[in-house]
């Protein structure tokens, strides 16, 4: 079978391609462009034609060097229009409605294992491999998405919204490896990535300055407005609701006997609601657009749930609701459950379900 490897320019995808080629020489490289690439990665000319044939774009010198190291053909996939309409627009709209988006989860579902996978199949590939630290196993005639062996690098959270059909076309060569082992393989085989730096959390936001990015887009983000406490008393002014997220402490400038934290964002009234730390803890959260990777249960089932990527996870039960919704009930209250983020539920090492926190 022909396997396409998504090459970002970093060490993880480079080593993933190297390992795959040792098992199967019939691989090709693809690199999808979003329109937000940095020139230091040697990406395509930004004036290249609009969406069309992968052959209409040429890889830059650094990507060409990666392809030569691997001795594989490299194709450029133009995902700019899809990325703008589905990822950037989602990011902006989520902030506009007072929530905190997670574009990396969305990008994996719509771009990497959506548009890029489709383009790879049009090039003759049957599967798409990436440098993610996660694993896929088949159990009882179902595919399971498992945590990566390297718990510090595990990226199953970001892949949790992939449907089983997408998982059937995915390969994660680094799933059973530690990051240190990946680095050893790169040194041993003289593999040099385009950049030694780790990927940014959000690739299209310069210096992770979300507020400036949103304001530059003139997208109807909120104007400054009142900061109120949980009793409704006005105690300050915010700089625009898009500059805040649940649990945030810095930048409030509201002196009090104890630090204030953002506990709610109220876009209808352009108000930022703050409270003391104890007000941040909740026992339940509702999630929507649930992606079940186990058979949808008829009653609550025990899980270990993460409410953000850096969350350690907590014991809970997930209870299916009407339509494609569910409720997660934690054994102990959790801090700063944030609307817009992905909640991912695990049963041991396997992703059981994931959805968007409402």
Decide: 246 and 264 in contact? Cβ < 8 Å.
yes
Residue 285: active-site member = no
The catalytic position among 203, 254, 285, 345 is: 203
- The CA distance from 180 to 202, in Å, is 24
Contact between 49 and 168 (Cβ < 8 Å): no
Q: Which domains does the chain possess?
A: 3-207 (3.40.50.620), 222-275 (2.30.30.280), 280-357 (2.40.30.10)
- Cα–Cα distance between 99 and 112 in angstroms, integer? 24
Q: What is the mean pLDDT of residues 217-227?
A: 83
157, with CB counted inside 10 A (0-12, 13-18, 19+), is: buried
Pick the closest to residue 158 from 147, 173, 169 (CA basis): 147
pLDDT in tens, 265-298: 999 999 999 999 999 999 999 999 999 999 999 9
Distance between alpha carbon 175 and the CA centroid of its chain, in Å?
A: 17
The confidence score (pLDDT) of residue 204 equals 87
Q: How sure is the predictor about 215, in pLDDT bands with cuts at 50, 70 and 90?
A: confident
- Spatial CB neighbours of 18, under 8 Å, sequence gap ≥ 6: 70, 185, 189, 191
pTM of the model: 0.90
Catalytic position from the list 104, 107, 285, 345: 107
pLDDT at 201: 65
Point out which residues pair with 43 in neighbouring strands: none
Tell me, yes or no, if 203 is annotated catalytic: yes
């Amino acid at each position: 079978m022909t396997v396409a490897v998504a090459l970002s320019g970093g060490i993880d995808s480079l080593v993933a391609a190297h390992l795959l080629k040792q098992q199967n020489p019939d691989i090709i490289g693809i690199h999808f462009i979003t329109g937000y690439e940095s020139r230091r990665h040697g990406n395509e000319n930004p004036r290249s034609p609009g969406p069309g044939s992968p052959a209409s774009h040429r890889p830059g010198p650094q990507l060409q060097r990666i392809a030569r190291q691997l001795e594989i053909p490299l194709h450029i996939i133009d995902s700019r229009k899809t990325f703008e309409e589905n990822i950037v627009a989602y990011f902006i709209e989520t902030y506009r409605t007072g929530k905190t988006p997670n574009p990396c989860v969305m990008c994996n579902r719509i771009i990497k294992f959506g548009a890029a996978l489709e383009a790879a199949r049009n090039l003759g590939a049957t599967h798409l491999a990436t440098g993610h630290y996660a694993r896929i196993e088949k159990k009882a005639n179902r595919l399971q998405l498992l945590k990566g062996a390297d718990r510090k690098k595990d990226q199953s959270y970001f892949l949790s919204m992939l449907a089983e059909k997408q998982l059937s076309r995915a390969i994660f060569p680094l799933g059973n490896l530690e990051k240190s082992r990946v680095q050893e393989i790169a040194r041993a085989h003289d593999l040099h990535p385009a950049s030694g730096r780790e990927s940014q959390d959000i690739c299209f936001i310069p210096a992770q300055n979300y507020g400036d990015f949103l304001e530059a887009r003139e997208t109807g983000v909120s104007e400054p407005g009142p900061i109120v406490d949980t009793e409704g008393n006005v105690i300050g002014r915010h700089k625009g609701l898009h500059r805040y997220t649940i649990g945030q402490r810095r930048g409030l400038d509201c002196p009090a006997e104890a630090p204030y934290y953002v506990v709610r964002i109220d876009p209808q009234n352009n108000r930022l609601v703050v409270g003391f730390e104890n007000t941040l803890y909740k026992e339940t959260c509702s999630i929507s657009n649930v992606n079940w990777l186990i058979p949808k249960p008829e009653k609550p089932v025990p899980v270990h749930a993460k409410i953000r990527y850096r969350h350690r996870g907590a014991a809970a039960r997930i209870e299916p609701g009407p339509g494609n919704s569910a409720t997660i009930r934690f054994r102990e209250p959790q801090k700063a459950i944030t609307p817009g983020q992905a909640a991912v539920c695990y049963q041991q090492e396997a992703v059981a379900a994931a959805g968007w926190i409402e």
